Every structure is written in structure tokens, then in C-alpha cells.
């Protein structure tokens, strides 16, 4: 079977390859086997290829697929998306209902578990969410990153009177901006690409190229640039006692003057995986434009080209069809 595999060479360097003879995965008890229909490439995948998370195995965590092996016959043939974290379920962190932070967790295509850039992969049945019929594959494949955008509202109370700045017009920034716009807040999105910002402008979301004229007056700044420099700009735009939300998993180290955070009493919030049920609800209600974010679609056999394309500067979502 075909799979995109990240190997670690004896020299310590990483090599991404198209495996042609990948073994047919067999689900352990409690898990199902899923045939990937469509996978999305995200910046985390590109960071992993650069060494983030020290992962080896099949890459990929954004998917929509069809269950083809399951203990529960009701699941067979169902079109599903799936939460990517697989917690142990028994440790103190899991018992305290923080399963996405289980120290013994695996994560699809990120940590100790083969991912979705393959014909088949396995995931626990409890991680699955059925995709409503009205949501096509090209929309459903955005459930995972949209859930990550929704996580901000799980963590931070964004008031309709708040001034909010989203930094970055990449894949995640465009989703985050659309989710935050639903709060009615006074939102501005800063980016570098007029064509991408136009996707938001079509929905009436104010955008700006560059940061000219912006004062340190935002109640909330969400950093989605995926670049180390983003943190410093975010810090400069937030008001004293404001909130800085970090969404990028950037491999580079951030250089910044942390004493500014102390003097201005800034709250810093890291934000990762979010609620799938809410993301699916937003998608089925048509509240988020995701199809404008699709830049290209490749066959699984061409997935190395897809990853190269996704890594080009300014690339939006690249999909891989199995
Ligand atoms: Zn992702
Ligand atoms: Zn646990």
C-alpha cells in the first residue's frame, strides 16, 4: 500500500519518502480502520518534516475517510472525521478531563501513531465524528483545523466589544478570523497577501496589508503567522493587560523582550486542538468559507509533490486524494 513515510536516517537527518509497500494496518481492540478519502496538509506537517516533535512514521492528521473495518457494524461504511489525540484514558490528566494533554497520548501523524497520508490508517472508534450528508469531502477535511480555530473561544472570552487583531493570512489565520468574526468583535486581520485577505473581505471582515497605523490597543491578539517574528509584532499590538493567543507551532526559536510582557501584564495563552462537534456544526451551517482556501489537489501517489507545493511561501490548503 502507498504511504508517505518520514524516516530518520542513521545520521540523524530525516527523509520523507513515498512508500509503495506499506503494510495493511490492522486495528487493535477499540480501533477502526479508515480508508482515507481526502487529506489536508498543514503547517504542522511541514514543521514535522523539519524535525518538530521528533516524529517518525506516516505523516498527516487532517482527513475525511470511510470506516472499512470495525467491531461495531454500525460504523462500517460511515464517512467520518476524527480527533487526532489518543489519550491513555486512565492517568490523572485523563481523569481530570484534559485528555488532549495526556502525557502518554499518541497523536495521529504527529506522535507515536501513523497518520493519514496513506490508503488506510487506524484510529479509536471513540475519536470519530460522523460527517453530516450535506458536507462534501472538500469541506469536511477542514474540520480539524477549524476545531483548532474554535479552541480559542473555548479558552478566551472574546466580547463583542473587544478589539481583536489576527496576525497572519495563512490557512489557520483565515479560519481563526472567520470564527472570531462570529463573536461580533471589532476584528482586523493583518497579512501580506491581498488575494488571501480578499477571501475575508468578501465576508465583510476588515483586513490590512502590513501593520502601519496600528497602535498597541488590541484587547486580544491572535498570532497565526507560523513565523518566529510574529510573536514580537503580536506583543507590540496588544494593550496592557490584554491577551496574546499563540496558535503557531513554529520550529524556530522566538527572540523577544519578555520584560514587556511583565511590565504590561500581558496574558499569554497557547492554543492547540479544539472541539470537532462545534467545527462540524459551523461547517454544516455554512458559516465558514473553506473552499476558497483550497489551493490544489494531488493524488496520493503524488503526495511528495503536494508537500513541496504546501511548503511554498504563501501556499494555502493543499489536499491529497486517495
Ligand atoms: Zn493540522
Ligand atoms: Zn492519560
> Tens of pLDDT along 54-79?
899 999 999 999 999 999 999 999 99
CA gap 110, 156 in Å, rounded: 26
Distance 44 CA to ligand 1 centre (A): 6
DSSP characters for 127-162?
GEEEPPTTS-HHHHTTHHHHHHHHHHHHHS---TT-
Ligand nearest to the CA of 108: 1
Average of pLDDT values for 290-295?
97
**Pick from 47, 56, 107, 55: nearest CA to 251:** 47
Q: pLDDT digits over 138-173, tens only?
A: 999 999 999 999 999 999 999 999 999 999 999 999
Average of pLDDT values for 90-99?
96
Distance 42 CA to ligand 1 centre (A): 5
Kindly indicate the confidence band of residue 214, based on its pLDDT and cuts at 50, 70 and 90. Answer: confident
Ligand nearest to the CA of 145: 1
Average of pLDDT values for 257-282?
94
Q: Any residues with CB less than 8 A from the CB of 154 and at least 6 apart, and which?
A: 274, 275
Scan for cell 480555530, then name that residue.
149
Task: State percent of the chain over pLDDT 90.
Answer: 86
Kindly indicate the confidence band of residue 251, based on its pLDDT and cuts at 50, 70 and 90. Answer: low
Distance 275 CA to ligand 2 centre (A): 18
Whether 292 has a pLDDT exceeding 80, the answer reads yes
Ligand nearest to the CA of 99: 2
pLDDT (0 to 100) of residue 229? 84
Distance 107 CA to ligand 2 centre (A): 12
**Pick from 164, 148, 178: nearest CA to 243:** 164
pTM (2 decimals)?
Answer: 0.94
Ligand nearest to the CA of 40: 1
Distance 193 CA to ligand 2 centre (A): 41
Ligand nearest to the CA of 106: 2
Whether 225 has a pLDDT exceeding 80, the answer reads yes
User: For residues 39 and 51, is the Cβ–Cβ distance under 8 A?
Assistant: no
Distance 25 CA to ligand 2 centre (A): 24
Ligand nearest to the CA of 274: 1
Ligand nearest to the CA of 52: 1
pLDDT (0 to 100) of residue 84? 97
pLDDT (0 to 100) of residue 211? 83
Ligand nearest to the CA of 104: 2
Distance 265 CA to ligand 1 centre (A): 31
Ligand nearest to the CA of 95: 2
Distance 186 CA to ligand 2 centre (A): 39
Distance 124 CA to ligand 2 centre (A): 15
Amino acid at each position: 500500500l502507498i504511504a508517505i513515510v518520514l524516516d530518520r536516517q542513521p545520521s540523524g537527518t530525516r527523509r520523507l519518502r513515498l512508500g509503495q509497500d506499506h503494510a495493511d494496518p490492522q486495528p487493535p481492540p477499540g480501533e477502526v480502520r479508515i480508508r482515507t478519502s481526502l487529506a489536508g496538509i498543514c503547517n504542522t506537517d511541514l514543521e514535522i518534516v523539519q524535525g518538530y516533535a521528533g516524529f517518525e512514521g506516516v505523516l498527516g492528521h487532517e482527513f475525511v475517510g470511510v470506516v472499512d473495518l470495525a467491531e461495531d457494524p454500525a460504523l462500517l461504511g460511515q464517512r467520518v472525521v476524527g480527533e487526532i489525540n489518543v489519550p491513555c484514558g486512565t492517568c490523572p490528566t485523563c481523569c481530570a478531563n484534559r485528555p488532549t494533554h495526556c502525557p502518554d497520548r499518541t497523536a495521529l501523524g504527529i506522535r507515536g501513531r501513523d497518520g493519514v497520508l496513506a490508503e488506510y490508517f487506524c484510529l479509536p472508534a471513540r475519536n470519530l465524528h460522523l460527517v453530516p450528508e450535506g458536507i462534501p469531502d472538500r469541506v469536511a477535511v477542514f474540520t480539524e483545523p477549524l476545531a483548532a480555530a474554535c479552541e480559542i473561544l473555548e479558552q478566551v472570552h472574546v466580547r463583542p466589544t473587544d478589539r481583536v487583531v489576527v496576525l497572519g493570512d495563512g490557512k489557520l489565520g483565515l479560519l481563526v478570523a472567520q470564527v472570531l468574526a462570529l463573536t461580533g468583535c471589532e476584528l482586523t486581520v493583518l497579512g501580506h497577501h491581498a488575494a488571501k485577505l480578499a477571501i475575508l473581505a468578501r465576508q465583510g471582515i476588515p483586513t490590512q496589508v502590513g501593520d502601519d497605523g496600528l497602535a498597541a490597543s488590541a484587547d486580544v491578539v491572535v498570532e497565526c503567522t507560523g513565523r518566529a517574528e510574529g510573536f514580537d509584532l503580536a506583543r507590540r499590538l496588544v494593550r496592557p493587560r490584554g491577551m496574546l493567543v499563540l496558535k503557531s507551532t513554529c520550529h524556530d526559536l522566538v527572540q523577544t523582550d519578555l520584560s514587556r510582557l511583565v511590565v504590561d501584564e500581558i496574558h499569554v495563552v497557547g492554543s492547540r486542538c479544539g472541539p470537532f462537534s462545534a467545527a462540524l456544526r459551523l461547517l454544516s451551517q455554512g458559516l465558514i468559507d473553506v473552499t476558497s482556501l483550497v489551493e490544489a489537489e494531488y493524488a496520493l501517489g503524488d503526495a511528495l509533490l503536494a508537500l513541496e507545493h504546501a511548503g511554498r511561501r504563501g501556499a494555502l490548503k493543499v489536499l491529497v486524494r486517495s
